[in-house]
Every structure is written in structure tokens, then in C-alpha cells.
């Protein structure tokens, strides 16, 4: 048993000597590239030292006397070195690994998180701008074609509303046509009756009945002449009303036809004022679309500059850490982040510092 213990002690001593010798012989690589084993060793060493610090902090909190608290933090350097020795890493290699790891971590996180998020946001803004540009170009083409044809640009809802309104106007106009037509017929009938009355009175004035005495004949004739004139005046008035009714009927027919044209082509202005209004609206819309196109093109150029600067920033950051280191950090990102978060949350009494 004694021999076995001695042999074991000798083997452990030899291993420590070899580890110390290897640690002492470590040299910083010229290309600053670390291996996966080195990264794992760095993470394990840091976690080990954090555990050791947790014990030290526990001892400090449980110490009842000043001597006890002093004892808890005594020989920190030795404990620190013992932690490094357990993982067969020198302070110089540990410090170098800490610096390389944090740099690779920054690059990995930026490239994987911040850069990708910024790029995704940029692409969303590119798409939004492209959609706005396409809309402006479509509006420009639409209003230019409308201006060429002298038409107004209408949405389907506006078109439907215009057709419905025109159909309502057409119906009202046709009803007025019917009303005026009846008025004209009534007036014409009245005029014909008055014409008949005038002729009858004229005939009686020219040929009084035999029963009219010679003494009454002059007054009778005068009376019939007056009746004839009154009838002719009434006929004239009736024909005036007939003419007015015919004119109103023609106007209503014109309104009905105009409303029918609007219902068939609601985008075509009819009156001069309407045409001028449509032209002004088309011109304003064309100017606005052209302005929007210029703005979208400028925005696209600005976004391209931002994207180029973002890529340049990424390239500059990638130069800070070899790509092999970044690849290994991405592979072990979760383990490193957990260790990093532990280190950030807990203040160690003394720990290997990168």
C-alpha cells in the first residue's frame, strides 16, 4: 500500500512538473489563432475559478471574526495558481485566451445578432421603399394616361358612386321629360279648344243668327269679335305654355342624355369647368408622383450607403479576430455566454483576468 501511494504521488508530481513545464514553454501564436481545446480549457478554468470564488465569498459571509475573514482571503494568489495548474494553463496563455475569446465573442455576436438584425431591418426598409417607388411609378403612368385622354382617375368605389348618382339623375330627368310632355299636350289641347272657340265666335260675328234683331246686330257682332279675340289670346297663352313645356322637355332630355353618358363613362368630364378641374387634379397628381419617385430613389441610394457602411463595419470587426476563432466561438457560444454572464454577475475576490 505504501509503495502504491508513493508511486501515485510520484506520478502526480511528474504530471504537474510536465504541465508546469508545458505551461511555462507556451508561446503566443503569431496569427493569434486558438484551438478548440484552448477555448474549452479557458471556459473550464474560468468556471472553476468562479466556483472557487463562490466558496471564498461563502467563507467570508460565514466568518464571525476578523481573523476568520482574513483567513478566507489569504493565499488567493496560490489558490489562483492552483486553479490554473489544475487545467494545465499558464497565466500568460490564460490572459491571451481571455483577450482572444472576448474579441471573437464580440465579432460572433455582432455578426450573428446585431449585423443580421440590422441587415434584416435594412432589407425591410429596402422593400418598403421599393413598394413606395413602384406605387409612385404606377400612379405616374396612370395619371399621365388620364391626362392624355382628358379623363379623371377614379377608384372602383368612386366609379360606382358616380354611376349610381348619374343613374339617379337620369331617372329624375326622364321623369321630368314625362311631366313636361304631359304639360305640352295639355297646353296644346287648350290652344286647340281656344282656336275652335275663336273660329266659332268669328263665324257668328260674320253671320249673326237670324233671330238677332237689326238693332241688336251691331252689339252682337262686337261681342262675338271680343269673344274671338279673347279666345285667340287664350290660345296664344296656351301655346306659350306649350312652347315652355317643350323647351323644358328638351332640357330634361339633354340632362337625361348627359346623365346616361356619365353613367356609361363616369371618368369623362362634361362641362368646361369639370374639364378644367380634372386637368388640374391630374397635373397635381403627376407632379406629386414625380416628386415621390425622386424621393424614393434618393432613399434607395441612402439605404445602399448605410448597407455598405454596415458591411464595412462588419469587415473591420472581422479583422479583429481570425475567422477560425469566430467559428469556434459560434460553436461554443452558449457555453461561453453562460460563463461570461456568471463572471459579470458575480464579483470575484480575485480571479484570472483576461
- pLDDT tens across the length of the chain (354 residues): 333 223 323 333 333 333 344 445 789 999 999 999 999 999 999 999 999 888 888 888 888 888 888 887 888 889 999 999 999 999 999 999 999 999 999 888 887 778 889 999 999 999 999 999 999 999 999 999 999 999 999 999 999 999 999 999 999 999 999 999 999 999 999 999 999 999 999 999 999 999 999 999 999 999 999 999 999 999 999 999 999 999 999 999 999 999 999 999 999 998 899 999 999 999 999 999 999 999 999 999 999 999 999 989 888 887 889 999 999 999 999 999 999 888 877 644 334 444
Rg of the chain on CA atoms, in Å: 53
Is 0.85 topped by the overall pTM? no
What are the structural domain ranges in the chain?
Answer: 159-266
Give the pLDDT of residue 76. 87
Amino acid at each position: 500500500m505504501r509503495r502504491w501511494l508513493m508511486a501515485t504521488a510520484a506520478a502526480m508530481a511528474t504530471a504537474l512538473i510536465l504541465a508546469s513545464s508545458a505551461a511555462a514553454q507556451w508561446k503566443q501564436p503569431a496569427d493569434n489563432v486558438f484551438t478548440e481545446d484552448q477555448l474549452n480549457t479557458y471556459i473550464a478554468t474560468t468556471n472553476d475559478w468562479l466556483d472557487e470564488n463562490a466558496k471564498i465569498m461563502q467563507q467570508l459571509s460565514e466568518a464571525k471574526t476578523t481573523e476568520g475573514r482574513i483567513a478566507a482571503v489569504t493565499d488567493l494568489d496560490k489558490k489562483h495558481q492552483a486553479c490554473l495548474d489544475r487545467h494545465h494553463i499558464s497565466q500568460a496563455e490564460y490572459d491571451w485566451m481571455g483577450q482572444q475569446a472576448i474579441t471573437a465573442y464580440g465579432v460572433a455576436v455582432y455578426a450573428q445578432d446585431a449585423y443580421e438584425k440590422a441587415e434584416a431591418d435594412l432589407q425591410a426598409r429596402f422593400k418598403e421603399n421599393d413598394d413606395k417607388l413602384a406605387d409612385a411609378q404606377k400612379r405616374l403612368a396612370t395619371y399621365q394616361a388620364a391626362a392624355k385622354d382628358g379623363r379623371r382617375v377614379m377608384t372602383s368605389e368612386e366609379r360606382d358612386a358616380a354611376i349610381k348618382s348619374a343613374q339617379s339623375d337620369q331617372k329624375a330627368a326622364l321623369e321630368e321629360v314625362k311631366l313636361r310632355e304631359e304639360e305640352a299636350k295639355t297646353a296644346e289641347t287648350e290652344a286647340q279648344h281656344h282656336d275652335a272657340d275663336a273660329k266659332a265666335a268669328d263665324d257668328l260675328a260674320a253671320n249673326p243668327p237670324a233671330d238677332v234683331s237689326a238693332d241688336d246686330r251691331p252689339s252682337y257682332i262686337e261681342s262675338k269679335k271680343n269673344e274671338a279675340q279673347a279666345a285667340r289670346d287664350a290660345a296664344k297663352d296656351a301655346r306659350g305654355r306649350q312652347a315652355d313645356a317643350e323647351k323644358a322637355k328638351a332640357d330634361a332630355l339633354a340632362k337625361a342624355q348627359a346623365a346616361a353618358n356619365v353613367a356609361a363613362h363616369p371618368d369623362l368630364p362634361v362641362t368646361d369647368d369639370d374639364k378644367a378641374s380634372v386637368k388640374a387634379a391630374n397635373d397635381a397628381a403627376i407632379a406629386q408622383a414625380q416628386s415621390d419617385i425622386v424621393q424614393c430613389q434618393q432613399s434607395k441610394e441612402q439605404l445602399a450607403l448605410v448597407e455598405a457602411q454596415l458591411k464595412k463595419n462588419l469587415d473591420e470587426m472581422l479583422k479583429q479576430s481570425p475567422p477560425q476563432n469566430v467559428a469556434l466561438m459560434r460553436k461554443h457560444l452558449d457555453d461561453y455566454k453562460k460563463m461570461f454572464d456568471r463572471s459579470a454577475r458575480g464579483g470575484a475576490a480575485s480571479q484570472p483576468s483576461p
